Structure 1
Amino acid sequence: MRLRNKVALVTGAASGIGREIASAYVREGAKVALADLDLDAALAAARAIDPAGAQTLPLAMDVTDEEQVEAGSARAIQTLGGLDILVSNAGIQIVSPLVDFPFAQWKKMLAVHLDGAFLTTRAAMRHMMGHGGGSIIYMGSVHSKLASKLKAPYVTAKHGLLGLARTVAREGAEHGIRANVICPGFVMTPLVEKQIPEQAREFGISEQEVIEKIMLKDTVDQQFTTLADVAEAAIFFASFQSAALTGQSLLVSHGWAME
């Protein structure tokens, strides 16, 4: 088991990518705090992943709320015995042309993706600095590297995570803290499923054309990235043993973007 005796906090863990990472971490021997805005969903995810309840802790957490992040992180550390891994995964998507984008929605998008990453990182680092270090993993996107129409705040936020990870890598190095970004392609989660009809309406094309001509057009095999693909990358970053791998980003996108 690659994460035996490790403790992880995963945000946005009740569904989609976050839930898959939490499940993979438990299989690899870690104890995992599943933090989510929806506590009932986090409880259900924890029961499904760990029926005995020995390796999971469901937490209610709005990652844009400083008090909730501090309290939830402290509870995870106290209950599970530390914090070695943070996966900053919580995210939302709102699709709209920039000229029509309400400022309130812009601020909400950046708050979830960037304020949430900052607040959870700060809480994690404060513990990790005195306890042997750890691994901080941000859920970026191919949109950390490229841009698409209708996604101005999402692209902006995902680009911003690269800068945050590189800064954390610098500041955390002397304390044994590594920071990296996973950049998936389109994964068929509720977040992506919701975009298909939205983009079909905006572009005046069919939903199948959205999939074929927008989402998968530039992949090498016209395949969606899977939850398991992303979870494996999260295990890789969490289990890597040295600062040889820090401040980096890993594209997991079937070749949609290449570096």
Structure 2
Amino acid sequence: MGEKSLAGRKALVTGGARGIGAAIAAALANAGASVMIGDILADLGKQTAGRLAETGAKTGFVELNVTDDAQWETAVAATIATLGGYDILINNAGIEITSLVVDLKAEDLRRMCDVNIVGTGLGMKHAFRAMRPGGSAGAGGAIVNIASVAATIAFPAIAGYSGTKSAVDRMTRVAAMEAGKLGYGVRINCLYPGLVPTDMGMQLANDIVAAGLAPDVAAAVASVVEQTPLGRLGEVGDMADAAVFLCSNEARFITGAGLPVDGGMGM
């Protein structure tokens, strides 16, 4: 895959202020794409966009709560106005609230469903409307939804999160079928990241300890590594490179697929 395999492409990355989202944004920019950062973390998101701009990338920031239909409309319009088009969506924004099934709280389940499922669905909706023929961008494109290895394995204390990420997987496949049948010219795939030591990943490790499933954080992390055939945690760059591939012309005949980037944990 060429170094500038995404030259001329225009991307919106949700949850792009930090963690996996920021890494994907940087990788897209490195591959030649222009990148809009969308996030509720305005100060951090602007800083991330600023760092991309320092590398010579065309970029910007838009405040985006992915559960809000109107904010999606604004974000897509801002992306097109700032970047001059829109043909890549990285649906990365998500939350994880750890809980044993016996301790589940309705409000936590609803919050994860709202961000992880509704947010992903609205992102695809507004991407389709913009990218399809006759849309405000109208040049087709690629969508990558960020699911999780949690959608493919039975890992304790994340039943609610696993359910939402399983929904992301199913929504991806249905959306890919619709886009193909309706001639939108948009490919839709998803990634299943393994555990990455971002803020969210390490919070999960701490929560596992609090739930009594591991004696300490080191043991919690070691347990994940032990279940991973490649023998290490994931890195943000692992996820970013996979996202770039799915957006590139090298993946031109891939849609409706889920790509595990988990070191073999979910095999």
Pair in the same fold by TM > 0.5: yes
- Partner of residue 53, structure 2: 50
SS at match of 1:188: coil
- Partner of residue 199, structure 1: 208
- Partner of residue 134, structure 1: 141
- Partner of residue 190, structure 1: 199
Cα gap change, 1:40/1:216 in structure 2, threshold over 3 Å: closer, same or farther?
same
Kept in 1, the 8 Å contact 2:116–2:164? The answer is: yes
> In 1, distance between residues paired with 2:14 and 2:227?
29
1:95 to 86, 94, 98: 98
1:226 to 235, 256, 265: 235
- Following superposition, the deviation at residue 73 of structure 1 comes to 1.3
SS at match of 2:54: coil
> In 1, distance between residues paired with 2:57 and 2:173?
34
Runs of 4+, deviation exceeding 6 Å: none
> In 1, distance between residues paired with 2:210 and 2:202?
14
Q: Give 2:132's aligned amino acid.
A: M
1:257 to 243, 249, 266: 266
Write the mapping of 1:19-58 to structure 2, written as runs, cut at 5 A. Answer: 19-51=22-54, 55-58=58-61
1:22-50 Cα distance to aligned partner (Å, 9 max, x none): 00111111111100011111001111122
Structure 1 range deviating more: 73-82 or 27-36: 73-82
> In 1, distance between residues paired with 2:188 and 2:93?
17
- Partner of residue 128, structure 2: 125
> In 2, distance between residues paired with 1:243 and 1:168?
16
- Following superposition, the deviation at residue 241 of structure 1 comes to 5.4
SS at match of 1:111: helix
- Following superposition, the deviation at residue 74 of structure 1 comes to 1.3
Could you say what the CA RMSD is over the residues aligned between the two structures, in angstroms? 1.4
> In 2, distance between residues paired with 1:255 and 1:48?
33
Kept in 2, the 8 Å contact 1:176–1:243? The answer is: no
- Partner of residue 155, structure 1: 162
Kept in 1, the 8 Å contact 2:35–2:57? The answer is: no
TM-score (ref. length: structure 2): 0.92
Kept in 1, the 8 Å contact 2:39–2:62? The answer is: yes
- Identity percentage of aligned residues: 32
Q: Does 1:84 align with 2:87?
A: yes
- Partner of residue 218, structure 2: 208
SS at match of 1:175: coil
Q: Give 1:210's aligned amino acid.
A: A
SS at match of 1:195: helix
- Partner of residue 165, structure 1: 172
Cα gap change, 1:229/1:41 in structure 2, threshold over 3 Å: closer, same or farther?
same
- Following superposition, the deviation at residue 79 of structure 1 comes to 1.8
> In 2, distance between residues paired with 1:29 and 1:38?
25
Write the mapping of 1:66-77 to structure 2, written as runs, cut at 5 A. Answer: 66-77=69-80
In structure 2, runs of 5+ residues without a counterpart are: none
- Following superposition, the deviation at residue 83 of structure 1 comes to 0.9
2:8 to 5, 11, 15: 5
Cα gap change, 1:7/1:190 in structure 2, threshold over 3 Å: closer, same or farther?
same
1:128-163 Cα distance to aligned partner (Å, 9 max, x none): 112231101000111121221111111001101111
SS at match of 1:92: coil
1:174-205 Cα distance to aligned partner (Å, 9 max, x none): 22111101111111100011112211121251
